[in-house]
Structure 1
Amino acid sequence: MSHGKTGGLSAGLVVGALGVVFGDVGTSPLYALRTVFADSHLDPADLGNILGVLSLIFWSILLIVAVKYVLIVLKADNEGEGGVLALTQLTVHSADRRLIAVLSFIGLAGCSLFFGDGVITPAISVLSAVEGLEIVAPDLEHAVIPIAAVVLLGLFSVQKRGTDTIGKAFGPIMIIWFTTLAVLGVRSIVQNPEVLVAVNPLYAISLVQTHFVLSLTIFGAVFLCVTGGEALYADLGHFGRPAISWAWFIGVLPALLLNYFGQGALLLREPDALKNPFYLLAPQEVILPLVLLSTAATVIASQAVISGVFSICRQCQLLGYLPRMRIVHSSESSIGQVYLPSVNWALCICTLILVAGFQSSDALAGAYGIGVSITMVIDSVLMLSLLWTMRKGVNVAQMVVLGLVLIIELLFVLGNSAKITSGGWFPLIFGLALLTAMRTWQRGRSELAKRTSREDYTPHKFQELLESTRPVTVPRTAVFLSSDRTLLPRTLVRNVKYNGVIHAQTVVLNLQTAPVPRVLRGSTTRSEMLMPGLYRIWAQVGFMETPDVPKLLRDAQRTWKDLDLHDVTYFLGRDDIVLTNQGNLPLWRKRLFAFMSRNSAFAGTHFGLEASKVVESGAQVEL
C-alpha cells in the first residue's frame, strides 16, 4: 500500500523520532487518568472503576495508535510523506469523480482541525507539567502561568533551528522520559500486580454497562490517552515509517502502558492520590526533578504537532489552499524539514492567549478532545475510502479493523461533544475559521481567473497581437511565470499591449503542483519554441517541494543551447483587487480574499528569485 519511500532505519532516526514524533502521546500520562475520574466523577476507591478505566486506556492505545496509525495508516505514504492532506491527495487520485469534491472538503476540514491541535497541544502539555510545582511548593501556584508562558516562548523561539537539530537535542531527553515512565510504573505495579488483569476487555465492557449514563463522558476523557496519534502520521516525512514503528513498539508503547497501570495500582492503594497520580508515583524527594523532566518532555510533546503544522501548511500553500508564505528549509539533507516563521509566531500568540484564558490543564482538557477526535475520524474515513478504491489487493482484515476503530472514534467524538460548552468550542471555531479562509482563497483564485479570462491569449492570438502592434524588441532575457498550461501569462500580454516592448528572448515558465510530494528527477521539465525568441517551459514540482526557478531554467537550457540565462529579468503579476457586488462570491468572502492576497509573501522569494532581478506588474481587477 506504500506509495513511495518511507525512509530507512538507523539509531539516529529512531532517537530523532522519539524526540519529535512521540512527545504528544508520550506525555498524556501526566493528565489522562486523572481527567477520566474527574470528568466522570467515578469513585477512585472502586476496584471495578479502576480496572475498567485501565482496560479502556489499554485497548484505545492498542487499537487506535498501534494498529490504526502505526500498522495501517503509516503504510499509506504519499511518496514518503504523511498527514491528512497527503492522504487526501492519495484518496482523491483513486476515487470516483463524484466523490472528489466531498473527499477534498473532508481533507481540508481535517487540516483545519489539525491546525487547532497545534495551538492547544503546547498549551495543555506545558501547563500540565508546570502544575507539578504546586505539589512541591504550593506557594508557587501563582507562578504557574508566567512560567508556562516563558517555556512556550522558548519553544517557539528554537523552531527556526529545524526538526533535525531539535530531534537530536530532544531525543536523549525523551529516552530518559520514557525510561522514567516505565520505572515509575513497574515500581507501583509490583506492589499491586493484580492491576494487570485490566488487559481483559471485559473490564472495559463492564465499566460501560455499569455506568452507561456516564459512558460518553468516560469515552471523552479516555480519548486523552491517544491524542498525538494523528501527529505520528503528519510527521512521517521527517523520519520515515521504519524509525517511527521501531520507536513505538520498542520504547513508547511499553512505557506508556506500564505507567498507566502503575497509576492504577497506586489508586488501588491510595484513592486520594487521584489529585495527581502521575507525580505521586514518585518518592517525595524526586518530585522536583520529575517536574523539571516533565516540563522538558511537554515542551518536546508540542514539537510533534508544531512540525506537522509546518508540513501541512506548506502542502496547503502549494496546492492552492493558502496564499504564499515565507518558507525556510531547515535541513540540507531532508527537503521535508521546513520552518514557516509567520505560522510559527501565529501559533505562539494563539497558544499564549489560550494559557492566559483557560489558566489550567484541567480547563484546557475540555478544549483538547473534540478537534483531535474529529481529525482521527477523518483519517479513518479517508483511509477506508483509499482501501476501497484500490480494488486489487484490498486487505479485508484492515478494512474490518478500521471499521471497528471508526466506531470507537465516533464514540470519542460523541463523548467530547459534551465538552463543547466548557472549552470544546475553541477548536471547532478555530478550525471553521481556517477552513473558511482556505475555501475563500481557493474560490477567490478561481473567480479571479474567470474575471481575467478576457485577457487570456493563446500563442496564436499572441502572434496576431505582435503583428498588429509591432512592439520594440529589447535585449536581455525575460521570464514570465504562469500557472496555465495553454495560455500565455497576462504580464507578458500587458507588456506588449501597454508598454509596446518584447524581449529578445522571452520564456514562459508554466509551474504545476503535482499531487505527489516530490517529482522524480528528470521528469520535471518539458519545453518548446512557440516562435523565434519565445519559449514555453512546463515544469512540475511536488507539493512538498519549493520551486527553484533558476534551476528549472538551467535544465531547459540543455535543450535550447541558445537560451541566454546570464542576464535574466523575472516578471511576476500582482493584481490590485477592486471589490464589486458582482459574481458568485459574497462580499465578505471577497474582502477576506483581498486581505489574504495583499498580505501574501513576495512571490520572488517563493520561487527562489533574486529580488533585484524581479519586476512586479499588474492591473486593477474587479472581483
Structure 2
Amino acid sequence: FRMAPVWGLFPLVLLSTAATVIASQAVISGAFALSRQAIQLGLMPPLDLFQTSTRAHGQIYIAQVNWLLLIAVLALVLGFQSSSALASAYGFAVTGTMAITTVLAAAVMRGVWRWQWPTIAVVLVPIMTVDLALFGANALKIPSGGWFPLVIGIAVFTILTTWRTGRRLVRIQLASEAVPLASFLATCDEAPEARVSGTAVFLTTHTEDVPVTLLRNLKHNKVLHRTVLLVHVVTENTPRVAGADRIQARELGSGFWQIEAHFGFAQTPNVPRELQRAKIPGLELDPSEVSFFVGRANVKPSPRPGMARWRERLYSALARVATRSPDFFRIPPDRVIELGTEVEI
C-alpha cells in the first residue's frame, strides 16, 4: 500500500478485499468438495450435505466443516496475530503441498496413465528437485510456525485412519454373527415366519450374507415381507456414475432381490429415488408400501486387539456425530425402521 500513490489506496483496498473473498471462498468450497469425497470413500463419518444448486452438483454446504474452518481461522488469527508471524506456517504448508502433489502426479502417471518409470522420472524429477529444495528450506521454520500445518495434517490423518479402521472392525464383528445368504434362502420357504404384504428394503454391506437388520427383524417381529430387497450401495472411484449404470438387480427367489446401487464419490446417494427410477423388470415398487430397515451400531470400546483405546474412544465419538443412515441415503423419515445393536471393537 505504501508503494502506491495516495489516490490508489482506496482501489487497492477494494482489490485486496475482493481477492481475499475469492480466495477464502475457494478454500471453503474445496473443503466441502474434499469432505464429501472422503465421506463417499469411507474415510470420514457421514455428515449432513446440503445441495445449494439444482444445476451444479458440486455446489454443496456442510455445516460441520464450515464451523471447523471458522474455529481454525479464529485460532490462527488469535495465535499468530500478524501476517508476518504466519509466514512460516504458510510457507511450510504450500511447499509441502507442492511436494505431495508431485508424488500424487507420479501415482496417477503410473497407475492410471500406465507410463513407464523412466518417462515419469524425466518429467517429475526436475519438478521434485525444486519442490524438495523449497520444502527443505521451509522445514527449518517448523519451530517458528511451521508446526501448525504439521499438527493439522497429523490430526486430520489420525481422524481419517481411525474412522476407516473402526468401520473395518465393526464390519468384522457384525460378520461374525452373519448367516450365509444361500443357506438362508434355502430354508426361507420352510420357515414358520409369516409373510406379510409390502416391500422391505434392507441396506447391507456384505452381499454374501443376510443383513443383520433382517435377522434382528425376524428375531423380534417374526415376520418377512412378501418382497425383500437387499440393497448394497457401492461408491465407485469415479466422480459420477451414469443413470443407466447405477442400479443392477438380480432375483434370488422366494421374493428376495439383490440390488447394487452404484454412485460416484462426487454424487449424493439417494436410494429411494434410484430404486423408483430403475424400472426393474418383474419388480413393481409402490412407494407407499416400501419400508426401509436400517441398522445403527452402538460402538463400545473394549480391551480386545484392534485399535488403541484412545482411538476406539475417538471412533466412538465420531460415530455419535455421524449423520444417520436414513438421512445420508435420503430415505423419508416416515418409511424408516431403525434397529440398533451394540458392537465391541
TM-score tier after normalising by the smaller chain length: over 0.9
Measure, in 1, the Cα distance between the counterparts of 2:284 and 2:15.
63
CA contact (8 A) 2:261 2:271 kept: no
CA contact (8 A) 1:326 1:601 kept: yes
Q: Superposition pairs for residues 3-22 of structure 1, below 5 Å? A: none
Q: Determine whether 1:379 maps to 2:65.
A: no
Displacement, 1:529? Answer: 1.8
Secondary structure at the aligned position of 1:367 is classed as helix
Q: Superposition pairs for residues 348-367 of structure 1, below 5 Å? A: 348-367=70-89
Measure, in 1, the Cα distance between the counterparts of 2:190 and 2:119.
68
CA contact (8 A) 2:110 2:117 kept: no
CA contact (8 A) 2:51 2:61 kept: yes
Displacement, 1:597? Answer: 0.6
Measure, in 1, the Cα distance between the counterparts of 2:300 and 2:123.
53
Distance change >3 Å, CA 357–CA 388, structure 1 → 2: same
Displacement, 1:474? Answer: 2.6
Structure 1 counterpart of 2:240? 518
| Deviation >6 Å, runs of 4+ | 395-398
Displacement, 1:544? Answer: 0.6
Structure 1 counterpart of 2:332? 610
* Among candidates 537, 542, 551, match of residue 259 of structure 2: 537
> What code does the residue aligned with 2:167 have?
R
CA contact (8 A) 2:239 2:267 kept: yes
Distance change >3 Å, CA 498–CA 337, structure 1 → 2: same
* Among candidates 47, 66, 72, match of residue 325 of structure 1: 47
CA contact (8 A) 1:506 1:534 kept: yes
CA contact (8 A) 1:480 1:508 kept: yes
Distance change >3 Å, CA 340–CA 391, structure 1 → 2: closer
Q: Superposition pairs for residues 105-254 of structure 1, below 5 Å? A: none
CA contact (8 A) 2:188 2:254 kept: no
Measure, in 1, the Cα distance between the counterparts of 2:164 and 2:118.
36
Structure 2 counterpart of 1:438? 160
CA contact (8 A) 1:366 1:419 kept: yes
Q: Determine whether 1:505 maps to 2:230.
A: no
Which structure's residues are more often strand, by fraction?
2
Structure 2 counterpart of 1:293? 15
Which of 473-482 and 597-606 deviates more?
473-482
Distance change >3 Å, CA 515–CA 551, structure 1 → 2: same
Show structure 2 runs of 5+ residues with no match.
Answer: none
Q: Identity of counterpart residues, as a percentage? A: 37
CA contact (8 A) 1:466 1:496 kept: no
Q: Determine whether 1:553 maps to 2:241.
A: no
CA contact (8 A) 1:323 1:596 kept: yes
Equivalences, count: 345
Q: Which is bigger in relative contact order (C-alpha 8 A, separation at least 6)?
A: 1
Larger radius of gyration: 1
Distance change >3 Å, CA 392–CA 579, structure 1 → 2: closer
Structure 2 counterpart of 1:103? none
Q: Determine whether 1:592 maps to 2:314.
A: yes
Distance change >3 Å, CA 460–CA 399, structure 1 → 2: same
> What code does the residue aligned with 2:337 have?
V
Measure, in 1, the Cα distance between the counterparts of 2:324 and 2:176.
26
CA contact (8 A) 2:32 2:62 kept: yes
Structure 1 counterpart of 2:217? 495
CA contact (8 A) 1:327 1:339 kept: yes
- Kindly provide the CA deviation profile for residues 363-404 of structure 1, in whole angstroms up to 9, marking residues without a partner as x: 111211222322221111121233234576669777524221
- Kindly provide the CA deviation profile for residues 124-170 of structure 1, in whole angstroms up to 9, marking residues without a partner as x: xxxxxxxxxxxxxxxxxxxxxxxxxxxxxxxxxxxxxxxxxxxxxxx
Distance change >3 Å, CA 417–CA 434, structure 1 → 2: same
Secondary structure at the aligned position of 2:234 is classed as strand
Distance change >3 Å, CA 464–CA 576, structure 1 → 2: farther
Structure 2 counterpart of 1:414? 136
> What code does the residue aligned with 1:421 have?
P
Structure 2 counterpart of 1:213? none
Structure 2 counterpart of 1:472? 194
Which of 395-404 and 571-580 deviates more?
395-404
Measure, in 2, the Cα distance between the counterparts of 1:591 and 1:389.
36
Displacement, 1:344? Answer: 1.0
Q: Determine whether 1:345 maps to 2:67.
A: yes
CA contact (8 A) 1:508 1:537 kept: yes
- Kindly provide the CA deviation profile for residues 492-538 of structure 1, in whole angstroms up to 9, marking residues without a partner as x: 11111232121222111111111111112311111112222221111
Structure 2 counterpart of 1:485? 207
Displacement, 1:579? Answer: 1.7
Distance change >3 Å, CA 390–CA 526, structure 1 → 2: closer
Measure, in 2, the Cα distance between the counterparts of 1:408 and 1:417.
14
> What code does the residue aligned with 2:229 have?
V
Structure 1 counterpart of 2:298? 576
Q: Determine whether 1:305 maps to 2:305.
A: no
Show structure 1 runs of 5+ residues with no match.
Answer: 1-278
CA contact (8 A) 2:48 2:323 kept: yes
Measure, in 1, the Cα distance between the counterparts of 2:69 and 2:209.
39
TM-score, normalising length: structure 1 = 0.53
Measure, in 1, the Cα distance between the counterparts of 2:29 and 2:67.
13
Distance change >3 Å, CA 437–CA 536, structure 1 → 2: same
Structure 1 counterpart of 2:2? 280
